[in-house]
Structure formats: structure tokens, C-alpha cells
Amino acid sequence: MAVFDVACAPRSVADILPPQGHTPRPGPVTSGKWLAASVEREAADMITAMAGEAHRRDPTHQRVWICLVDGNAHQIDRVTAEAQRLGIQITIIVDLVHVVEYLWAAAWCVHPRADPAAEAWVRRHARALLSGDLDEVLAELTSSAAGCEQARRTGIDKAIGYLTRHRSRLDYPTALARGWPIATGVIEGACRHIVADRLDITGARWGLAGAEAILKLRAMISNGDFAAYWPWHLDQEHRRIHRSRYENDTVPEA
């Protein structure tokens, strides 16, 4: 997970899915990334840590808090619970990339595999969602599902369910107008850098404790905290190995 600051940059639908000849405006610029990863801690604990870091940056809650999610229900419940605990308002936005993945799954229900028309179909529906025309997209998906054999309509049914469940979190027109991010590129990049580049190397085998230690260390380095941490680590190691054994100038019996 990641907490970061954003320099907002208003954009239009054309900046996200540009027509031919259109030069997109730059998107929001992120800074101050704080990363955390764990294979031992529960998602709820990590979300609490994320909220704690955000609160540290904005203790009086004067800033706008945006949370990008992939649509996981437990994740959203925990984010909502943390917002209530801190007494703040968080705007939850479903990551556009995950939405487009559902549109692609639906596209293969109405188009043959590798059909070039599928890309235009997905693009048209994605532009409609970015414009706020969710009901129009749902109506067309429902109509397309009715014309599909039951065995082929799974992708469309999942897309309809996903979009319907997250209706309140698909307000892309507001997000674009206010310059907020609408995709989780920061966290996807962090997953690759913090997790995959080390834990997925060929031939690696990990226990939970070792993997957890490596993730914490890599996150600490990425956050720029290693220089402050390492002297403390050496001091604790000295206390554990030496001071506890030789305190009061005594030598333990063999």
C-alpha cells in the first residue's frame, strides 16, 4: 500500500483516452510516497497503518483525502471504518484500470477473440464511464447480455455486477475536474519494486519471517528511513547480544 501527496491537475476525458491528434495534458504529480508491505499482517492492520500515516501528514484534517481501491469489499469496509474512527471524510475511487479489465472481459462475450472491434468497444464504454454515463453503459451491457448464450455471458454479468456495486465510487467526472488521480499506478509500481523485484527472483524460496523482514527493509529504504533506522538497529543488536550477557561485569558460566 502507499500514501502519497498529489499536486492536482484537472483533465478531461480526452486527456485520459485521447483521440487521434490530441496531446493529453499532464496528470497529477505525486510526491512524498510512503510505502508499506507485509505477508504477515492482516489487511485491516495495514489500512490502519495507512490511515495513521495520512493522519500524521494532516493532523487537523484540512486536506482532501482520496483513497484508490480495486473494488475489494473488505478493503473498502476497512477504509470506511478508519475514516469513521478518525472523523474524516474520505472519497473512495475505484481504480480505472480495474474497471477497464472488467470491460475487456465483457468485450470477449460479444466479440470473437482477437477481433479488432473489441478495442473500440471497450474504449467507447470506458469513455462513457469517464463522462459519468454509467446508466448508459449498464443498459448496453444488459442488452448485450440478453443476446448472449448463457455459457458466454459470464464476463458481462461480472462487469454489470462490479459497476453496479461500485456506482458511488465511479464519479470520474468530479475526479477529473478536480485533478485527482483515478488509477493506482503508484501502488502497482510499488508492488513491482518492493515485492516482485526481490521475492519473485528465480529460485527464491521464502519463509514468512524472512519475507516479512525483506519487505520491511525494502519499504524502509524506499521511504528514505534506512539511515535513521540502522544506528538504532545496531544499538538494539548490541544490547541483545552483548549488554544482556555481560551486564554487571560478570561472565556467564560455560
Question: Which pLDDT value is given to residue 249?
Answer: 57
Same domain, 146 and 127: yes
Question: Cβ of 62: how many Cβ atoms within 10 Å?
Answer: 6
Same domain, 117 and 51: no
Residue 163's DSSP bridge partners are: none
Same domain, 6 and 89: yes
How would you class 194 by CB atoms within 10 Å of its CB: exposed for 0-12, middle for 13-18, buried for 19 or more?
A: buried
Same domain, 84 and 17: yes
Question: Which pLDDT value is given to residue 148?
Answer: 80
Same domain, 88 and 184: yes
Same domain, 110 and 137: yes
In this structure, is residue 228 part of a structural domain? no
4 Cβ neighbours under 8 A, 6+ residues apart: 30, 31, 32, 33, 34, 186
In this structure, is residue 224 part of a structural domain? no
Same domain, 85 and 103: no
By C-alpha distance, which of 88, 123, 141, 157 is closest to 13?
123
Same domain, 55 and 175: yes
pLDDT tens track for 172-183: 999 999 999 999
Domain range for 8: 2-96+168-188
The letter for the amino acid at 185 is G
Instruction: Profile the chain (254 residues) by mean pLDDT over runs of 10 residues.
Output: 93 94 91 89 92 95 95 94 95 96 94 91 97 96 86 90 97 97 84 82 87 88 87 86 67 53
**Cα separation of 108 and 90, whole Å?**
35
Phi and psi at residue 32, to the nearest 5°: 60, 40
Same domain, 103 and 87: no
Same domain, 44 and 161: no
Same domain, 40 and 116: no
Same domain, 129 and 51: no
CA distances from 175 to 18, 64, 122, 132, 136 (A): 17, 12, 21, 11, 20
pLDDT tens track for 103-162: 999 999 989 888 999 999 999 999 999 999 999 999 999 998 887 877 788 999 999 999
In this structure, is residue 247 part of a structural domain? no
The total domain count for the chain is 2
